[in-house]
A and B are shown apart, each in its own frame.
Chain A
Amino acid sequence: MKLRHLAVSILISVGLLAGCRGAGGMVPAGFNLLSASAVPAMESTGYFPSYSSCPQTETASKATSRIPGTAWKSASSAVSAAAYVPPLLHCAGQSAEVSPSFLDHAVFVGDSVTLKLKNYVTKQRKTEPGFFGTAAFLAAGGMGSGNALKPLGKDSIHPSYNGEKKLLEDSAAAMGAKKVYLMLGINDIAPYGVKGAAQNLEKLSLRFCTKIPGVKIYIQSATPMLADKQKKTLSNQNLERYNKLVSEFCEKDGWYFVDVASAMRDGTGALKREYCSDPNDLGLHFTDTACKVWIHYILTHTGG
């Protein structure tokens, strides 16, 4: 009998506590992952209606934020469009759009999302030869940091350049890369987890630095997917957790974090439907319009 009273009391307490949280505002879904100081910082900063996580007037080489978290759902677990708070991450600040020649000797490394950018650029260069500078691409469908770190072989994912299949850093060196832009993660989170995927990307980026002394590393955030196409592990919530870890190692290692994802999100944190070329399939690839937005973002977030 006493036990029953105790159980009822606990249930009432939990109910009241949940009610208080609901009234008090947002609790980050990744609350357990955040430091204790993260939540007060988030509350003091408030909601940013703009999708961009970086201050738009920032002209310094890097914009920083005290807030390393993401708010995805209320304590009652109800995900609502109005409730979404974009993550605030350490990232390259915004500036006026620079000339495409900024991308001369740049190499873009990525998966099928970057493959679309490559194809878009290839098409545009037919009529506009200087489009996107002389940037080159090392992209392959299904590529991730994890499989890029694996040894080179006939059956390895490494894309070929000029018909030669090499490790990514070797290809980039052969291409004369002075800047390397990486966007990977969507093929890593499921097999390696959020933390493992981020660690793999850091390892891969370090390989470029070792192989090409003086190279500038720009790591682009993994971009979101349509809300209704999220999987158990590959979800927008996990992509944001991954991006947070990536932005942190960029800060530590002195690399630029280019938060392309911030330009692709709708008000709920998902990929804008009009930017999605495969809404009936994977729900994460880009249209030509999205590529234009992406390129503009790159040219306005150069790291100063």
Chain B
Amino acid sequence: MKRISLVLLALAAALFFWSGCAAKSTFKEADLSKVMAAMKQKITNTQMMDLSSGDLTPTYGIADKDVRQFAAYVDSTGTKGDEILLFEGTGREAADRVEKRLDDRYHQKEVEMKDYLPKEYAVLQKCKVERDGNFVALIVSPQYKTLEQIYQKALK
């Protein structure tokens, strides 16, 4: 009986340490402004502009308190779908809220482009909102594959 208890205890300890390590390994870090700077080198749309924190609430409904860091670079012409939004939430629930807003934004872009900008809509259909820990991103660009690689590589 004593031996069984010891084995169970050892297993529990192993499980505890393993889960601790696993949690540590999923913790992500990235400097989003640096990630965006790297992405800008690959984006072919020359009519893009940066958004500032004051633009987040009116444009996306994202509250400052939910954002630990962000970078936003969007088309300025009104005729292209390019929109690169990178966020790190201040916590899991904050990241949930940011993700919800980016899902809404993605859907709104679908509604606006479907019949109006078919080429841009085709690009949009290949892109998606991505969630990784507290990081949430929406990368819409004809260069989305390259930009996603930059983003994924940066999240370590």
Contact = CB atoms under 8 A, between A and B. Distances in A.
Interface of A: 112-116, 118-120, 122-123, 126, 136, 139-143, 154-157, 159-165, 187, 277-278, 281-282, 285
A162 B117 contact: no
B79 A282 contact: yes
A114 B78 CA distance: 8
Contacts of A285: 77-79
A138 B132 CA distance: 32
B77 A116 contact: yes
Interface of B: 47, 49-52, 55, 57-58, 60-62, 74-79, 101, 104, 107-108, 111-113, 115-117
B36 to A, nearest CB: 16
B107 A154 contact: yes
Given A112-B79, A122-B55, A285-B79, A141 B116 contact: yes
A165 B57 CA distance: 13
Contacts of A139: 78
A187 B108 CA distance: 17
Contacts of A120: 76
B104 A160 contact: yes
Main SS of the interface on chain B?
mixed
A157 B79 contact: no
A122 B49 contact: yes
A158 to B, nearest CB: 9
Given A142-B115, A156-B111, A157-B111, A162 B58 contact: yes
Given A119-B76, A163-B104, 9 more contacts: A113-B78, A118-B78, A119-B75, A119-B77, A126-B50, A142-B113, A285-B77, A285-B78, A285-B79
B49 A141 contact: no
Contacts of A160: 61, 104, 108
Nearest to A159: B108
Output the residue of B49, B76, B78, B101 with the most chain A CB within 10 A.
Answer: B78
Given A119-B49, A162-B57, A162-B61, A281 B79 contact: yes
A119 to B, nearest CB: 4
B67 to A, nearest CB: 13
B116 A187 contact: yes
B79 A141 contact: yes
B76 A123 contact: yes
A112 B113 CA distance: 11
12 contacts: A114-B78, A116-B77, A116-B79, A119-B76, A139-B78, A141-B116, A142-B113, A162-B58, A163-B57, A163-B61, A278-B79, A282-B79
B112 A163 contact: no
Nearest to B116: A142
Contact of B112 (A123, A157, A162): A157
B101 A141 contact: no
A141 B55 contact: no
A74 to B, nearest CB: 35
